[in-house]
């Protein structure tokens, strides 16, 4: 199978995750991501696949999948801010997360990608996001907003001669959407697009625009996006696929790995407290209580689901400026062992948020592009291991989610495929 050119459209294209994913993609095309010189010698000697540290698609289990090569991917996107994609990258340099030389090397490519970034839309996006934006909240209707997004997506596909465009939501977290009164069918929801006071937020309008054009859509954020029966129906009607929701990168990943251990050993979790501190733009937006609510909900539900009962849980996310992109999480798990004796597990996770998220974004794009190429339609539930709130999957245990992915990969192995 030859691979056509594929577009990668980032909503929030100038944010930290998108900038890191873009920079990483450029480095992967050159074949030298991961060449970080360490104290143990000039360049690490590791098996080839290890050059792609952090990429799930690079592990042996997925070697037989016919992924689109890195060099066939073209980046574009929307952003409501007026800065440059390199700004986010430089912030990561200042945070000590990536090297200046990496940004320097790809400055020309970043400038070129900038020309593919359009000004995004605010629509019920909430004050925290509006404060960051270079645009005014729109006075357009939801439908007009959707149509404007579609125009940008079509132009991108046409100008760059793309066979396929994967749209990824990487924008800041919106406040929760009140979905109680939203209709379950697309034909009903569609009517709301013309109504005054349409309750949908921007993330869902982006999802509608992409899916309505038959483009696959990935929601890497806690915002609502396509996570609504009516929009899921739209995807099926248009014969396209989507995945989500909210990338599982750090503390929640650990929860989905550790909670099954307590369940398997029948150790009773009495309380699970998680405190997260970090200082990037995401953190600033989450510092607004309305936006934080969406995130907390996404982080806090899986422990009870895995255990089968509800221990007392507490999750906090706080904006601590000095930490920049380094998210530090402290979790305190208080559990009861045999004969009722209380014991404790604590962990501290110090990870660079954008660098944990970006490779997963690239992995998801490859998986979703492949599914779309293979004709899969609707929610891609086999991608649940990537998400805090896996769409179409009632399983939060990471190892079981990962087994589902491996099973899918076995079924879709392409014997003749070569790794890109």
Touching its own copies, residues 227-286 (CB under 8 A): 253-254, 257-258, 260-261, 263-268, 270-271, 273, 275, 277, 279-280
In the complex, the smallest distance separating the C-beta of residue 25 from its own copies, rounded to whole angstroms, is: 11
Question: Which two three-digit tokens encode residue 166?
Answer: 């994967």
In the complex, the smallest distance separating the C-beta of residue 390 from its own copies, rounded to whole angstroms, is: 15
In the complex, the smallest distance separating the C-beta of residue 277 from its own copies, rounded to whole angstroms, is: 6
The verdict on 131 binding its own copies (CB under 8 A) reads no
- Residues 200-229, interacting with its own copies (CB under 8 A): none
In the complex, the smallest distance separating the C-beta of residue 158 from its own copies, rounded to whole angstroms, is: 32
Q: Give the number of residues in contact with its own copies, rule: CB under 8 A.
A: 95
Query: What are the DSSP calls for 181-214, one per residue?
Result: T--SSHHHHHHHTTSTT----HHHHHHHHHHHTT
In the complex, the smallest distance separating the C-beta of residue 29 from its own copies, rounded to whole angstroms, is: 14
Nearer to its own copies, 171 or 355 (CB): 355
Nearer to its own copies, 47 or 375 (CB): 47
Among 31, 301, 349, 419, binds its own copies (CB under 8 A): 349
In the complex, the smallest distance separating the C-beta of residue 41 from its own copies, rounded to whole angstroms, is: 9
Nearer to its own copies, 190 or 268 (CB): 268
In the complex, the smallest distance separating the C-beta of residue 71 from its own copies, rounded to whole angstroms, is: 18
- Residues 353-382, interacting with its own copies (CB under 8 A): 355-356, 358-359
In the complex, the smallest distance separating the C-beta of residue 119 from its own copies, rounded to whole angstroms, is: 24
Under DSSP, the state recorded for 13 is: T
Binding mask 298-317 for its own copies (x = CB under 8 A): -----------x-xx-x-x-
The verdict on 404 binding its own copies (CB under 8 A) reads no
CA distance 380 to 367: 9
CA distance 208 to 235: 8
Instruction: Tokens 């699970």: give the residue.
Output: 272
Under DSSP, the state recorded for 138 is: P
Among 324, 368, 373, 376, binds its own copies (CB under 8 A): 324
Cβ 225 vs Cβ 219: under 8 Å: yes
Nearer to its own copies, 191 or 265 (CB): 265
Cβ 261 vs Cβ 400: under 8 Å: no
Nearer to its own copies, 27 or 198 (CB): 27
- Residues 5-64, interacting with its own copies (CB under 8 A): 20, 23-24, 27, 33-40, 46-47, 49-50, 52-56, 58-59
DSSP-assigned beta bridge partners for residue 17: none
Nearer to its own copies, 57 or 125 (CB): 57
CA distance 192 to 197: 9
Find all residues with CB under 8 Å of 3, minimum gap 6, and list them.
68, 69, 72
Query: What are the DSSP calls for 3-69, one per residue?
Result: ---EEEEEETTTSHHHHHHHHHHHHHHHT-TT---BTTBSS----GGGGGTT-GGGSGGGTTS-PPP
Stretch that binds its own copies, among 7-15, 231-239, 329-337, 376-384 (CB under 8 A): 329-337
In the complex, the smallest distance separating the C-beta of residue 141 from its own copies, rounded to whole angstroms, is: 38
Cβ 28 vs Cβ 17: under 8 Å: no
CA distance 80 to 118: 8
For residue 111, give the nearest of 75, 139, 143, 136 by alpha carbon.
75
Cβ 417 vs Cβ 66: under 8 Å: yes
Question: How many residues appear in the chain?
Answer: 420
DSSP-assigned beta bridge partners for residue 243: 218
Nearer to its own copies, 97 or 380 (CB): 97
- Residues 63-92, interacting with its own copies (CB under 8 A): 91
For residue 50, give the nearest of 69, 67, 68, 31 by alpha carbon.
31
């Amino acid at each position: 199978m030859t691979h056509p050119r594929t577009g990668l459209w980032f909503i929030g294209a100038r944010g930290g995750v998108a900038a890191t994913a873009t920079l990483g993609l450029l480095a992967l095309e050159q074949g030298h991501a991961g060449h970080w010189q360490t104290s143990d010698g000039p360049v690490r000697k590791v098996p080839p696949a290890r050059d792609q540290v952090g990429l799930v698609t690079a592990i042996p289990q997925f070697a037989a999948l016919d992924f689109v090569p890195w060099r066939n991917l073209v980046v574009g996107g929307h952003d409501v801010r007026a800065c440059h994609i390199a700004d986010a990258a430089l912030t990561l340099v200042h945070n000590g997360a990536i090297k200046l030389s990496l940004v320097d090397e790809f400055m020309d490519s970043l400038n070129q990608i900038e020309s593919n970034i359009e000004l995004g839309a605010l629509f019920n996006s909430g004050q925290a996001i509006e404060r960051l934006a270079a645009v005014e909240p729109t006075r357009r209707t939801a439908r007009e907003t959707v149509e404007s997004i579609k125009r940008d997506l079509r132009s991108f596909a046409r100008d760059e001669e793309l066979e396929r465009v994967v749209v990824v939501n990487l924008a800041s977290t919106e406040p929760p959407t009140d979905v109680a009164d939203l209709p379950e069918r697309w034909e009903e929801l569609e009517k709301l697009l013309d109504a005054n006071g349409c309750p949908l937020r921007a993330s869902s309008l982006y999802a509608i625009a992409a899916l309505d054009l038959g483009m696959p859509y990935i929601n890497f954020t806690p915002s609502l996006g396509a996570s609504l029966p009516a929009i899921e129906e739209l995807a099926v009607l248009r014969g396209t696929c989507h995945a989500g929701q909210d990338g599982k990168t750090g503390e929640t990943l650990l929860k989905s790995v550790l909670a099954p251990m307590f369940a398997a050993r029948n150790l009773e979790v009495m309380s699970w407290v998680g405190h997260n501190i970090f200082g990037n733009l995401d953190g600033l937006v989450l510092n607004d209580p309305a936006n934080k609510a969406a995130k907390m909900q996404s982080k806090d539900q899986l422990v009870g689901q895995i255990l089968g009962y509800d221990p007392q849980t507490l999750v906090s996310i706080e904006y601590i400026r000095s930490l920049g992109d380094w998210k530090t999480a402290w979790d305190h798990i208080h559990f009861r062992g045999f004969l009722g004796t209380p014991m404790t597990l604590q962990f501290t996770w110090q990870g660079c948020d954008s660098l944990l998220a970006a490779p997963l974004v690239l992995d998801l794009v490859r998986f979703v592009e492949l599914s779309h190429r293979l004709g899969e339609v609707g929610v891609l539930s086999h991608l649940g291991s990537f998400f805090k709130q896996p769409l179409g999957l009632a399983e939060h245990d990471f190892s079981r989610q990962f087994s589902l992915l491996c099973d899918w990969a076995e079924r879709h192995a392409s014997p003749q495929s070569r790794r890109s």
